[in-house]
Structure 1
């Protein structure tokens, strides 16, 4: 009986405590519940930008002010609001895709979330980034696909959406070909397409849902195939650099499919020499060269293989010739097919490669040649600067692509 009585008392006390807590929670009120309306901002000025406007103002000397809020409607018809604390005197309204006049309402908001009457201003944005990108975008046929280029001067976050017809002949987005970026100079290379005609649509979109018109292009990729390496042969000319250690390495090793030492071309740098190092070889086919794939030689170390190191080419040129001068001179028998620069993805200091750097180098660099260049049979690679600051060069493996028909 005593046990039952004790349990009953405990139950009653618990109920009272829980009930009391519930009442306390219900009675909580904002710390600051002042209904006073804050003072408005004054001295408003506007600087219109591309798809946006920067609004400056004088913050009122009002102790209850918490922040300033701008409310506006963008081109899509959607309403947005941005805020700035009372420590700031500027805010940016953005997301406009036209150059029309728009109304923005500025509210002062107190610590109790009481808003002032609005200060209404007018803005007139400049040309939106999506239209700037759209108007200078170019799409041209390339070997095995197409090249898309555009300038994004404001470095805005934009998407270039590529569309293609589906089985119902309705255009839908192709995310694999679409571009999502904020770089100033846009370059998208699409490869792996057959040499038939394709019809694609292209439009530019921003993160607010604004989008441009769609431009439609018929793309006809240029034929490309890998030139058979079984036909390659060395073709050493006067002026070509000697190989390491009296021929321990060799030019012919760059197409033998083997990696590592000594299966590489590795030129020897005489002390004090600053002349560019060249190697020359015969592809065995007169072809219009589309690209040359190069895998750099890895220098082994306690830190792991280093690809952006010593004789790895940093700046170099590739020349082609159908019937080269046997003097070894880079005369008019040679055509410059392209000038190239290797950039380490991570940007880490010399001698330090991260996992992404190594993965990029292992995958190899694909260097595109001038599509207007004539057909050639012989290739010459000229190193202007390696990663150590010299001109010696090393190449572990190489492939050549083009149209030999």
Structure 2
């Protein structure tokens, strides 16, 4: 009997506690039905695609935040809240410079609002329109190159469509997302024939610019046959470590970042180091792609690490001097491998890892002469020394006479 009574008592206590918690969660922290005072002295600063409001807060002790409500051109009703610790707020999402009506109200801790104060704003031109005017679409090797100036560093996406052989417009490639001050994107794998494209810019509020239509002819490009590549060793060239297949591993076709079989120069040499190899084909080069081994660190894989190239040069020659001197070589470019995140050495973000797995492409100037032999010259790796490692190298260009 005692056990039964104790059991009933426990159930009763639990029931009271649950009911009490439920009731407590549903009750407001405060229960004032008196609205706060109005927002006053509202100052308007029209900016590009947005508006800054500065105002005087009411003196209510239970004031919680200030709220602004307005409707975008898309029909979406936008609500911006600003804490009572501040006397400013930014209203964004405008695509047009026309007049907009804003309702500004104060809200207390009981979620009771003041009467809204209505103000009229006229935002300046949305930065997307300037971006659209700056957009350039040009033919590039085996593709098209898109460049856009983004001086306000707005987060936007560039959406592409392409006309097919039946005259229908279809989405083309994934959207280009960026907030960089200079947006640059190159797509590959297109035939060197005139092709029609349409491009539009969209912001995070789903505002769209007009569509830019253009006809572009990609430039001819081929992937140089790697079965013709041959290693060379001229006087002054770096010594290669023998723990792997050496230079030959750079064109064995295995670009898996977990593949340890890569080219490594000796680490003891702290001077500038370079290697030389023969592509077996005279070509006007367009770009070179370099892929790295993912260094195993702490159970994971690191890029932008150890002997991976950071600052380097690529040189070319059609007929190099066998004494190893540089007088028969032309510099094809000075390059830097940039870490997307900018994080300190030894730290990789998801975008860093994705970039490392994909590999890095370096464009060759169109003014460069035709070459057959290549030199990769390491100026600095990611540890600040000069030894370097390369998992795979791919060379692109035009071998036609």
Name the TM tier (shorter chain). 0.7 to 0.9
Q: Distance in 2 between matches of 1:269 and 1:241?
A: 10
Q: Cα deviation per residue 1:297-319 (whole Å; 9 max; x = unaligned)?
A: 45566746655443221211112
Q: Distance in 2 between matches of 1:218 and 1:229?
A: 33
Distance 1:298 1:101, change over 3 A: closer
- 144-153 or 381-390: which moved more? 144-153
TM-score between both structures, scaled by the size of structure 1: 0.79
Show the counterpart of 2:208.
211
Shift of residue 381, structure 1, vs aligned partner:
0.6
Q: Is the Cα–Cα contact under 8 Å of residues 293 and 390 in structure 2 kept in the other structure?
A: yes
Which of residues 378, 381, 385 is equivalent to 2:380?
385
Gapped regions of structure 1 (runs ≥ 5) = 1-20
Q: Is the Cα–Cα contact under 8 Å of residues 163 and 195 in structure 2 kept in the other structure?
A: no
Shift of residue 400, structure 1, vs aligned partner:
1.5
Give the 3-state SS of the residue equivalent to 1:204 in structure 2.
Answer: strand
Residue 186 (structure 2) pairs with residue 189 (structure 1): yes
Q: Cα deviation per residue 1:322-376 (whole Å; 9 max; x = unaligned)?
A: 2334453434x43332332234566665456688766654543333322342321
Show the counterpart of 2:176.
179
4+ residue segments displaced more than 6 Å: 28-31, 258-262, 352-356
- 151-160 or 105-114: which moved more? 105-114
Shift of residue 382, structure 1, vs aligned partner:
0.7
- Which of 1 and 2 has greater Rg? 1
Q: Distance in 2 between matches of 1:51 and 1:369?
A: 38
Shift of residue 110, structure 1, vs aligned partner:
4.8
Distance 1:240 1:78, change over 3 A: same
Gapped regions of structure 2 (runs ≥ 5) = 1-18
Give the 3-state SS of the residue equivalent to 2:90 in structure 1.
Answer: strand
Q: Is the Cα–Cα contact under 8 Å of residues 243 and 249 in structure 1 kept in the other structure?
A: no
Q: Distance in 2 between matches of 1:233 and 1:240?
A: 15
Distance 1:156 1:364, change over 3 A: closer
Give the RMSD, CA atoms, in angstroms: 3.5
Shift of residue 117, structure 1, vs aligned partner:
4.0
Q: Is the Cα–Cα contact under 8 Å of residues 145 and 184 in structure 2 kept in the other structure?
A: yes
Q: Distance in 2 between matches of 1:261 and 1:104?
A: 59
Residue 223 (structure 2) pairs with residue 226 (structure 1): yes
Shift of residue 204, structure 1, vs aligned partner:
0.9
Distance 1:372 1:130, change over 3 A: same
Shift of residue 288, structure 1, vs aligned partner:
1.5
Show the counterpart of 1:17.
none
Q: Is the Cα–Cα contact under 8 Å of residues 201 and 217 in structure 1 kept in the other structure?
A: yes
Q: Cα deviation per residue 1:44-64 (whole Å; 9 max; x = unaligned)?
A: 222332210111111011246
